[in-house]
Copies of this chain bind each other. A is one copy, B any other.
């Protein structure tokens, strides 16, 4: 186990009806005005918008609004939000939505105090000390942004999608009510599940030794997802199963499962290049890349992958060679993704081989030197990333 620091001050308010109390929950944190930040019309159609605004009014909290967040949230709306917060005297941003609305809110919150262009924080990975407080009402369990210390923004002009990690981006309060997930379309449910699983895989696959407790936490939450994902895809009104997926999604990315471990993040790095250019759902890209990444890297640490095969995918080795079991586990993971309705190739996502080399070089930071790479479990050079992209076509 490696030395680590953990500091997760987000208050989670979990369960039925909790969003109806958002005004009272936020009251202690608001002196001036809230910015209500959200995506398209779905929260208006579902009635959630009315519940939230009624609760804010009942708590006598003034608010301004900025809708229009899109999946792979964009820098231009972040700029607009920063200007709006300054003009309106905002002192808290309430994101209502999934990871996109929350990440957009986090970028606005950092940009409020940051002097200069907020994109520099993403592009140059600058440390930021201070941000406006962000609170969330989660509507899609996927990104884990409701309790994570990171956010991802797309600069569409430059076709770049960069993440940024800083503890000031942890939301101060997040409402997670699994009832709100019941109206999600099935493809969005599946994408979210692939995203949260990837957040765990990125932490789980490690060469760090002596990680019993966090191995158990990763494996346990993955098993709970594998068990409950088909239930929520099969019946999106299954509240009990949604509770498991909702809690799993939040814990997948608050970093408790990754404490004291060297983490990988290769698949996330490779996927960001895909969605920056082709604007595909993040989870869909991850579900395609992850098994191909596994097949490419497993020989780096056979015991780790055998543990995955046994403890996560539930396989017995018996008399077989370890590698055979590992390959079966990867096949079983592919079958799981297919079973919840996900496609298995980049081709099906509308991506051909035209720009693979360009993306592989961007993913590894090739511009800074040929020796730059992506990922830690096995460091991938651009040629490795290209091979994984090609295997994923």
Contacts and interface: CB of A to CB of B under 8 A. Distances in A.
Chain A: number of interface residues, binned into ranges: 35 or more
Interface stretch (A2-10, A60-68, A105-113, A281-289): A2-10
B213 A1 contact: no
A224 B244 CA distance: 22
A233 B206 CA distance: 28
Nearest to A3: B15
A213 B219 contact: no
A228 B224 CA distance: 24
A371 interface: no
A216 B212 contact: no
Interface in A1-37: 1-16, 18
A243 B210 contact: yes
A393 to B, nearest CB: 35
A22 B152 CA distance: 34
A329 interface: no
A14 B260 contact: yes
A223 interface: yes
A131 interface: no
A227 interface: yes
Contacts of A4: 12, 14-15
A225 to B, nearest CB: 9
Contact of A5 (B12, B221, B248): B12
A207 to B, nearest CB: 15
A259 interface: yes
B216 A221 contact: yes
Q: Which 9 A-B pairs have the closest CB atoms?
A: A3-B15, A216-B220, A210-B240, A9-B9, A7-B11, A1-B243, A212-B224, A6-B12, A220-B220
